[in-house]
């Protein structure tokens, strides 16, 4: 069984979603033969896929946050076994690292799940655009994507560019311009999505060390990979990937704004905004009323004064302060001059 046979079920799902979105746009009054309608069908496919991946996206955010926060502990484990290359030390370092992942309920692979799960969809869409949109109407159907719809999609143009064309596969200026714009948009959205997640939502302590350096390398490496591979992608695939990146940026912005990592720039911005909003309402920075703050401060002051009085009451008194007591000293001699042992008559 080759790769194409394995991908066919995913191709079938991708083609059906695109056709259903296309039929919905047709029902709303859009021209079914327009390239814009088919482009929006790909956008609809992207939205459906990303909605299905929301649970994994939340897990990705939490995993990346946890990985950055435990970076100092991971660095401590690495420093502990630095320079030790024997088998026992390597096994011990691996064991302690895995225990650290288990303790914080994270692992370095969870942050890659949404990207990995989108890869088969990416290749399936690539296949649909290349085989489905290029085949004449006598070819085989892919789910609801009939021969008539394939021919319609093949003839459709987005600003004069067919959705199945690539930058390197044509000399048509309109195709190359549209493809170049989409490649730039795809690379830029990929970079800013990664930067927003790593730089804005992490405390300063997590932005140092080997783990942070790996994240920075990934932030620059992925866009570079797309710069190299992007010219080989059909315009429809470029639309899918750009919209997917924009969706990621929106999701990240929402999650970071609502639940930023403690100590991060995003949390400082959130606390400052809350304090400003509360000040406009006549409230304390934490949302309490000024009367509540005053009463709590008075209660705290009374508690401090009561504690001082209690310590003073329990303080031991000096004997010199006791009135009527004589100072300690040797016993005074008696006025009786009778020698001891002789009784007086």
pLDDT of residue 198 exceeding 50: yes
Rg (CA), the chain: 37
| Prediction pTM value | 0.68
Task: Work out the average pLDDT over 83-88.
Answer: 81
| 206 pLDDT tier (thresholds 50, 70, 90) | low
Which residues lie below 8 Å from residue 235, measured CB to CB, with a gap of 6+? 158, 161, 162, 163, 164, 165, 166, 175, 178, 179, 182
Measure Cα distances from 294 to 284, 288, 300, 301 in Å.
10, 10, 10, 11
DSSP state of 161: B
pLDDT of residue 29 exceeding 80: yes
How many Cα atoms occupy the beta-carbon half-sphere of 246 within 13 Å? 12
Higher pLDDT, 172 or 185: 185
96-128, pLDDT tens digit by residue? 888 887 877 777 666 666 667 777 887 888 888
pLDDT at residue 211, as a whole number: 58
148-183, pLDDT tens digit by residue? 888 888 888 888 888 888 888 888 888 899 999 999
Q: Whose structure tokens read 């799902």?
A: 13
pLDDT at residue 344, as a whole number: 45
pLDDT of residue 55 exceeding 90: no
pLDDT of residue 336 exceeding 70: no
How far apart are the C-alpha atoms of 208 and 185, rounded to whole Å? 29
Domain boundaries, the chain: 3-70+106-263, 268-306
pLDDT at residue 28, as a whole number: 93
Higher pLDDT, 190 or 203: 190
Contact between 267 and 261 under an 8 Å Cβ cutoff? The reply is yes
207-223, pLDDT tens digit by residue? 565 556 666 777 777 77
CA 198, 203, 204, 207 dihedral sign is: negative
């Amino acid at each position: 069984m080759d790769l194409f046979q394995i991908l066919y079920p995913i191709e079938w799902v991708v083609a059906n979603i695109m056709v259903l979105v296309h039929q919905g746009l047709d029902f709303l009054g859009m021209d079914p033969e327009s390239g814009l309608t088919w482009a929006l069908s790909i956008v609809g496919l992207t939205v459906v896929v990303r909605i299905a991946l929301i649970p994994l996206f939340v897990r990705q955010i939490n995993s990346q946050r946890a990985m950055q926060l435990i970076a100092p502990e991971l660095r401590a484990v690495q420093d502990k076994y630095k320079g030790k290359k024997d088998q026992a030390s390597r096994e011990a370092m691996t064991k302690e690292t895995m225990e650290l992942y288990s303790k914080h309920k994270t692992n370095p692979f969870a942050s890659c799940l949404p990207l990995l799960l989108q890869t088969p969809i990416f290749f399936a869409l690539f296949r649909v655009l290349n085989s489905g949109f290029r085949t004449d109407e006598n070819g085989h159907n892919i789910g609801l994507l009939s021969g008539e719809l394939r021919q319609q999609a093949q003839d459709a143009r987005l600003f004069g560019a067919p959705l199945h064309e690539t930058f390197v596969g044509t000399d048509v200026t309109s195709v190359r311009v549209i493809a170049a714009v989409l490649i730039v948009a795809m690379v830029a959205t990929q970079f800013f999505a990664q930067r927003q997640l790593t730089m804005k939502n992490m405390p300063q302590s997590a932005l140092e060390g080997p783990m942070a350096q790996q994240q920075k390398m990934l932030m620059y490496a992925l866009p570079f990979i797309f710069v190299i591979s992007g010219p080989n992608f059909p315009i429809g695939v470029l639309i899918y990937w750009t919209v997917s990146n924009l969706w990621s940026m929106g999701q990240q912005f929402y999650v970071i704004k609502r639940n930023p990592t403690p100590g991060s720039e995003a949390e400082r911005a959130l606390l400052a905004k809350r304090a400003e909003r509360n000040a406009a309402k006549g409230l304390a920075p934490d949302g309490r009323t000024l009367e509540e703050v005053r009463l709590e401060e008075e209660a705290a002051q009374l508690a401090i004064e009561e504690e001082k009085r209690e310590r003073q009451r329990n303080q031991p008194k000096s004997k010199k302060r006791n009135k009527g007591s004589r100072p300690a000293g040797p016993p005074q001699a008696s006025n009786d001059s009778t020698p001891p042992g002789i009784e007086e008559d």
